[in-house]
């Protein structure tokens, strides 16, 4: 989003340019003494107006302003106890995009998130034609505890379609192990390189259901890495698909 944000110096330059003759830029000038504080105030007002503007959109709002978006008539989603802004924002944005359905997979995933799950993956017909198995995580992306599963299942009962056999289960773990031999710059710190690579790998695998080998390769190029060789993902070079109801968990090893 592009909004006008200027420093006091930028505003003062525009003001001074309107003065005929030599531009008074010295701090001792009388014009500067009176005009610069006004420019500072205008710059602060621009920052406040920007903050006010972005709070009007759930995509950027935070804190109590985000709560107000959830309370809107066509959404009516309360923040759950302990829920952070990003998890709450995701539920609000999902609710604005999706219409209430008739009990299909996407409906159960949304109902589970509304009931307190951090993430939800629903699988239809796994046990029989009327079964719905919802695999959930907590807000940190970890497989849910039995207690959380029981709480979510209880809260979903009012939404459950009568003929559906609903189960709420901890998400399964799909282990992704990446390793490679790296060629580092002389001044590179191996521990920092490992941290950056694991951070990038984790972000990638959490956002996709198909782990692509060539994408993993590109993620190894963090600051300090010149080249790599012998990269494998789970011991090979094939793409890996996440099973239904599972979350990807990645580990990283730098071959010495």
DSSP of 47-75: HHHHHHHHTTSTTT--HHHHHHHHTSTTT
Q: How would residue 97 be classed by pLDDT, with cut points 50, 70 and 90?
A: low
What number is the average pLDDT over the span 24-53? 76
What number is the average pLDDT over the span 208-237? 94
- Tell me the pTM: 0.53
What number is the average pLDDT over the span 206-224? 92
- pLDDT score at 191: 95
- pLDDT score at 223: 93
Tokens representing residue 76 in the block = 């009516």
- pLDDT score at 98: 58
**Average model confidence (pLDDT) across the chain:** 85
What is the torsional sign of CA 251, 214, 119, 122? negative
Q: How would residue 24 be classed by pLDDT, with cut points 50, 70 and 90?
A: low
- Give CATH for domain 100-170: 3.30.300
Place of tokens 């014009």: 31
CB 237 within 8 A of CB 214: no
Q: How would residue 37 be classed by pLDDT, with cut points 50, 70 and 90?
A: confident
- What distance in Å separates the CA atoms of residue 150 and residue 181, rounded to the nearest whole number? 45
What number is the average pLDDT over the span 112-140? 89
- What distance in Å separates the CA atoms of residue 70 and residue 220, rounded to the nearest whole number? 39
- pLDDT score at 190: 94
100 forms beta bridges with: none
Q: How would residue 99 be classed by pLDDT, with cut points 50, 70 and 90?
A: low
What number is the average pLDDT over the span 100-110? 74
Domain locations along the chain: 8-54, 100-170, 173-255
Least confident interval from 95-99, 132-136, 217-221, 223-227: 95-99
| Proportion of the chain above pLDDT 70, given as a percent | 89
Burial-class residue 149 by CB neighbours within 10 Å (0-12, 13-18, 19+).
buried
- What distance in Å separates the CA atoms of residue 141 and residue 249, rounded to the nearest whole number? 9
Give the helix/strand (H/E) hosting 30.
helix 30-54
- pLDDT score at 25: 56
- pLDDT score at 226: 94
Residue predicted with more confidence, 51 or 122: 122
Residue predicted with more confidence, 24 or 13: 13
Place of tokens 């031999």: 181
Alpha helices in 190-239, H assignment, sequence order: 190-205, 213-219
Q: How would residue 235 be classed by pLDDT, with cut points 50, 70 and 90?
A: very high
Residue closest to 122 by CA, chosen among 110, 111, 108, 102: 108
82 contact partners, CB below 8 Å, separation of at least 6: 139
CB 135 within 8 A of CB 118: no
Q: How would residue 28 be classed by pLDDT, with cut points 50, 70 and 90?
A: low
CB 168 within 8 A of CB 202: no
- pLDDT score at 179: 96
């Amino acid at each position: 989003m592009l909004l006008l944000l200027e420093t006091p110096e930028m505003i003062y330059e525009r003001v001074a340019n309107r003065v005929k003759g030599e531009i008074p830029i010295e701090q001792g000038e009388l014009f500067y003494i009176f005009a610069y504080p006004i420019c500072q105030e205008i710059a602060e007002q621009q920052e406040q107006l920007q903050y006010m503007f972005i709070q009007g959109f759930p995509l950027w709002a935070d804190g109590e302003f985000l709560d107000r978006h959830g309370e809107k008539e066509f959404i009516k989603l309360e923040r759950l106890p302990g829920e952070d802004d990003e998890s709450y924002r995701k539920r609000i944005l999902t609710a604005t995009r999706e219409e209430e359905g008739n009990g299909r997979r996407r409906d159960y995933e949304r109902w589970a998130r509304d009931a307190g799950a951090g993430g939800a993956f629903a699988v239809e017909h796994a046990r029989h034609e009327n079964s719905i198995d919802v695999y959930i995580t907590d807000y940190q992306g970890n497989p849910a505890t039995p207690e959380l599963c029981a709480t979510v299942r209880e809260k979903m009962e009012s939404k459950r379609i009568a003929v559906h056999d609903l189960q709420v289960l901890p998400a399964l773990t799909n282990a992704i192990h990446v390793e490679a031999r790296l060629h580092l710059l002389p001044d590179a710190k191996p521990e920092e390189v490992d941290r950056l690579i694991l951070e990038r790998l984790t972000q990638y695998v959490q956002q996709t259901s198909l782990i692509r080998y060539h994408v993993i390769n590109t993620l190894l190029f963090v600051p300090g890495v010149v080249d790599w060789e012998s990269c494998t993902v789970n011991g090979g070079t094939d793409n890996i698909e996440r099973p239904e109801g599972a979350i990807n968990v990645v580990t990283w090893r730098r071959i010495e």
